[in-house]
Every structure is written in C-alpha cells, then in structure tokens.
Amino acid sequence: MQALADEKVFKCPIHSFIRVTDKLIWELIEAPEFQRLRRIKQLGGTHIVYPTAEHSRFSHSLGVYFIARRMIDVLNKQGTRFTDSERMLILCAALLHDLGHGPFSHSFETVLNIDHEDFTRRILLEHTQINHLLEGYQTGFSQEVSDVIAKKHPNRLIVSLISSEIDADRLDYLLRDSYFTGTPYGEIDLERILRTMRVVNGKIAFKHSGMHAIEDYLFSRYQMYWQVYLHDCSLSFNFLIQSLLTRVKKLLTDGYAFNCDMRLFHELFATTDININTYLRFDDGVITTFAGFFLEESDATLRDLASKFLNRGLLKEFDYEPQENSPQLYEQLASAMEMANIDTVSYLFNFNHEQSTYDHYGLDCESIDILTADGISREISTVSNIIQGIVNAPKKKSTIFLALDHVKASANKEQLEKALEALIGRSVHV
C-alpha cells in the first residue's frame, strides 16, 4: 500500500481535522466522480427550512471516511487486526458509499424511477476514474467495495461498520446535519460510542458503559427525523422538485418545443438505461440553472413550477388522521381539483409514512448489541428499558400537500375547501 509523501488534511467543523495518508484515498477524492459530490447538497431541499443546511455530500463522505478510520484504530487496539487490504476496503467503502446520489436525491430518483445505490454501483464498476483507481490498487477491488456498500460482502463485520443500525454513515450525518441545520438534537457522544466498541463473535457490540450514549444516539435519530428529515417544508419542497421534473419529462415526451437546449434532459429521460456520463453531469446547479431558463418557456405549468422552485412557493401541508374512507375522500379531492382545472400531477400529493426509531427486526438491519457484565452481548432493547419502550413502534405521518394559490384563485374554491375538509376532518379557510 502506498502512502502519500505528505499527508493531506481537510479542516472540518465536526471532526476538526480529517487526515489522508493513503495515496489511493487521495486519488479517489481527486477523481471527477467524487468531486461532483461537492455540487450535491447533503440534505437536498432542507435549506429551504434550515437556511444554513447547505453542506455537501462531499464533506459528509469525508466525515464517514474519518469515522471509519477511527473505528479501525479502536478495534485494532482491542485486538481485531485488519489486513492492509481489509483496511483499505473499509476506508474506500466509507468514502464512496454516497457516490451515486443525484441532485435533490429523493425527487430525482422518484421521477427517473431509479435508485442512487444502483448508480453508486455503476460508478464503481463501469469505465470511470474511480473504477480505474480501485482496479489499479487490486484486480477485482471495485467489486469488493461495491459489495460492502450493497451489504453483500461475506465479511459481515466490515459491512456493519459502513451499514447497520449504528454505522460510520449515520454517526457522521447526525452530527453534521445537526451542526449545519442548527438543531441540537443530533449531538451525540461520538467519543464514548467509539471508545466502547468491541468485536464479540465477529460482530460489533458496545460495552455496557456506552449504553447511555447509544440510547442518546437512537433518540437523536428519532428527533432528527421528525424535526429535520421529515419537516413539512422539506417534504413540500421535495414534492415541488418532483413536480418540476415530472413536468419536464412530460413535455419532452409530448414533443413540446422548448426554447432552451434540452439535449441533456433528453438523454436522461429518453431511456431507462441512462448513460453513466449523462447521469454524472447532473448536480444541484444544473437543475437550478434550468429552472431559471424554464421561467421563459410558454408552458404555464412549467413556468409556475420553476418560479415556485426558485422563490420558495411551497405547497401547503394539511396533516390528517387516516380513516377507512380516506382513500375515497382523497380521490374526491383529486377529482374536484381536476374539475377546477388544477393539474393534480403537479399540485397535489398524499404523503403517508411510517418511521421506526429503532427496528432490529427490519430487513438488512444489524441489531445494536450491548456487552453486559457477564461477558455476553445482548440486543439493546433487552437491556435498556428506554429502548424497550420504542422498539418496533413506528411513528406515522399522513399529510396532504397542495398548491393553495391555485385553490384560492379557483372559481370552485368552496367545493375544493369542502373536499379538503372532508378528508382532513376539520374546517379550513383558504
């Protein structure tokens, strides 16, 4: 393994200094596919509600690399020795785990009907600079890195460091998202969590003295979900981007004559087998720049959505308790909007979501184990009364998002109000 002649250092507000000593890690960071992550915001549209949440997937990826490196050091001290190539596998998987994210991830993926994890795999395995570097290190190494990220690698210990209920990814994003949003809920005791990590029977467990730090971590996750990741304004903005991209796709399919050059979007929407080079050209800036161009298009819906996107014209949210007849009442609201000439594809969304704080029976999730005084590791909900209370108890959210300005301007405003009231179970005055 080649070391750099001089180590490189990134200043980081979360981890202070992130040091790079391996030549391969530095070359991966320098590759264009990794540099692109500078141009993708970590939290998509969350800056619309927390204005300083402008941090990038680039800085988060460096943070995950940093935490993975700390984990290797802690485990090494405890007697779990990784070979050079295992160490490099952990570091590369940590650094590259978010490589396939597109701009405004969730909305982009929904409209394209793709999964960013597929694109992470493709960037690792197809003809890219990243692939060239990984294969230069060791033949077949790109596949190994891909397998760790996809949780398919036979070394489950390595997989769990990158992807489990408590992993390098989540530990970094909770701290980072908390810092950049200015919400204190994500502040976790990373030092204690790392210092109490052990390997028991090939699996991570935490010393009993670290249990309260783990409890705090799980509650931080819960609070960050509801306060940040599932904030109504973030969700509303995501739906707006989804509407904008869906409109672009429809107009391209219908043969609408755009004034601006749409070749890039054509390549994106024309096939389900998107060329990796086309995909890599998309970042937050491309979407924002095109939204500016769309303000001058003749299609009124496209213009309106682009303006709402650029000027924070959010869809309005209405929470409701789902009843047996809610699906029918939603359909009635949708037909009332269509009757009023309001495009429901662009301006109406029904969001139903369940979020578990900690679900150790969930697919692909490694449980969190606590090493008790008798030397046996036990799943945390059997040891902690607090976690026992929240395990497998998802919190639910049902919310309607709609373009209130279109409802207000409609001649059918009263019928629309009535249809909305019937669904959400309370009176509204738009």
What does the binding site for Zn ion look like in residue numbers (CB under 5 A)? 98, 169
Alpha helices in 165-299 (DSSP H): 168-181, 190-195, 211-224, 232-254, 263-269, 276-280, 284-294
Instruction: CB nearer to Zn ion: give 98 or 283.
Output: 98
The CB-of-366 to Zn ion minimum distance in angstroms stands at 16
Instruction: CB nearer to Zn ion: give 72 or 390.
Output: 72
Handedness of CA 372, 378, 380, 382 (dihedral sign): negative
Instruction: CB nearer to Zn ion: give 117 or 232.
Output: 117
**CA–CA separation, 57 vs 101, rounded Å?**
8
Instruction: CB nearer to Zn ion: give 98 or 165.
Output: 98
The CB-of-42 to Zn ion minimum distance in angstroms stands at 8
The CB-of-100 to Zn ion minimum distance in angstroms stands at 11
3-state SS of 91-154? HHHHHHCCCCCCCCHHHHHHHHCCCHHHHHHHHHHCCCHHHHHHHHHCCCHHHHHHHHHCCCCC
The CB-of-93 to Zn ion minimum distance in angstroms stands at 11
**CA–CA separation, 202 vs 207, rounded Å?**
15
| Residues 290, 100, 307: CA angle, nearest 5 degrees | 20
Instruction: CB nearer to Zn ion: give 65 or 349.
Output: 65
Instruction: CB nearer to Zn ion: give 169 or 283.
Output: 169
In degrees rounded to 5, what are phi and psi of residue 26? -65, -40
In degrees rounded to 5, what are phi and psi of residue 5? -65, -45
**CA–CA separation, 60 vs 15, rounded Å?**
11
The CB-of-116 to Zn ion minimum distance in angstroms stands at 10
Instruction: CB nearer to Zn ion: give 98 or 317.
Output: 98
36 to 56, 58, 279, 283: CA distances (angstroms): 10, 8, 11, 7
The CB-of-194 to Zn ion minimum distance in angstroms stands at 18
The CB-of-237 to Zn ion minimum distance in angstroms stands at 20
